[in-house]
Chains A and B, each alone.
Chain A
Amino acid sequence: MFRVDPLANPEPLIKRVYAYVAYRVGDGPDAEDLTSETFERAVRYRKSYDSSKGEPIAWLIGIARRCVEGRPPPLEHASEQVDAPDHRDLEDDALRRITLSSAVGHLEERDRELIALRYGADLTARQIAELQGAKTNAIEVALHRALGRLRTQLEAEAETPVRKSEAGR
């Protein structure tokens, strides 16, 4: 019986794994290192992939989760390292991306993980449930709550620069 190569089309997989890792640890060199490590392990253990257990992306995200969890703890909190964006210098898209990334970074670990899996790696609620050993309904509810907290966080971040500018006057 022929084995399915999980890395047959690597480019979309690289993008999805990177997005997942970047939502977890923040966009930048740390995310790049973890993505590289994930693919190194995937190449080394590609024979262990079993297509009957799930899609290649779910297998890769499982590896990426272990890489993220196995990394040494950061010296400072990740969200504190993100500087407040200078609105004048950045394009609108880039600004939105940074604002979102910063807001996700302020969430709790569990919410960040769920958002990274759902919107970074583009996994379905069912795939996330299989990965975390939970029920699909429970994951959907948890995602809904995580999104609510993210909205609150975005609103809080949106009001902060306005207050700062008012205080400056």
Chain B
Amino acid sequence: MRSWRRNRESGLEAELRANKPEPSHELVNKLEARVRSHRDARAGSFRVAFAGALAVGVLAALASVGGLGYAATGVDQAASTAKRVMQKHGVATLHKTAASDQYKKPRAKKCPKGMKRVRGKCKRVKKARGVRFKRPPFTG
């Protein structure tokens, strides 16, 4: 009490500043964390928005110089090439293998001489008679 009396003319203001109430560390830390957490959340959304804006900007720049059409053509060509390659070099199946030789379907037996297979059955073939030559009549 004597100290502020001693400096009553000039020191009271300094005393008021020096002895002003101070918050507890707990309160300061709590409020700082609250403020910072809110700021971090905002920074995250800002980053996402910035990335989106950047992507839109790049697309707009490409579109202005025909880059999008070029890219679309490239994709189209790549797709058609892939399709062609896949069709030509499809899954190869081998028909002449040792297994197919061994287990192939049995061939039908040959028909005896003078017979011919007609609809799975052997039938006798008629002998050709030949051509009968007749002298044409004299007409004079």
Least CB distance from A110 to B in Å reads: 16
Closest to A158 in B: B1
B4 touches A (CB below 8 Å): yes
The reply on B119 being an interface residue by CB < 8 A is no
Q: Once the chains bind, are B23 and A119 in contact (CB under 8 Å)?
A: no
- Is A7 a contact of B35 with CB atoms below 8 Å? yes
| Given A14-B31, A18-B27, A99 contacting B1 (CB threshold 8 A) | yes
4-40 of chain A: CB within 8 A of chain B: 5, 7, 10-11, 14-15, 18-19, 22-23, 27, 31-32, 35-36, 39-40
Cross-chain contact B20 with A119 (CB below 8 angstroms): yes
A: interface residue count bin: 35 or more
Interface of B, helix, strand, loop or mixed by DSSP: helix
Known: A11-B32, A120-B20, A154-B4. A100 touches B15 (CB 8 A): yes
- Tell me the interface secondary structure of chain A in the complex: helix
* Contacting pair B27 A14 (CB below 8 A): yes
Bound-state CA distance A86–B38 (Å) is 43
Chain A window 31-65, contacts with chain B (Cβ cutoff 8 Å), 1 for yes, 0 for no: 11001100110010010000000000000000000
Cβ < 8 Å to A, chain B residues 51-108: none
Give B18-60 interface residues, CB cut-off 8 Å to A: 19-24, 27-28, 30-32, 34-36, 38-39
Closest-by-CB residue of B relative to A122 is B17
The answer to whether B34 and A39 have CB atoms under 8 Å apart is yes
A126 within 8 A of B: no
CB distance from B82 to the nearest CB of A (A): 48
Number of interface residues of B (CB under 8 A): 26
Q: A5-B39, A7-B39 are in contact. Are A96 and B27 (CB under 8 A)?
A: no
Residue of A nearest to B1 (CB): A158
Contact pick for B17, options A7, A22, A119, CB 8 Å: A119
CB of B132 within 8 Å of the partner chain: no
Q: Is the CB of A96 within 8 A of B38?
A: no
Residues of A with Cβ closer than 8 Å to B? Answer: 5, 7, 10-11, 14-15, 18-19, 22-23, 27, 31-32, 35-36, 39-40, 43, 46, 93, 96-97, 99-101, 115, 119-120, 122, 147, 150-151, 154-155, 157-158
A-B contact pairs, 16 of them (CB 8 A): A10-B31, A18-B22, A19-B22, A31-B21, A32-B24, A35-B23, A36-B30, A39-B34, A43-B34, A96-B3, A97-B19, A100-B4, A100-B15, A115-B16, A119-B16, A119-B17
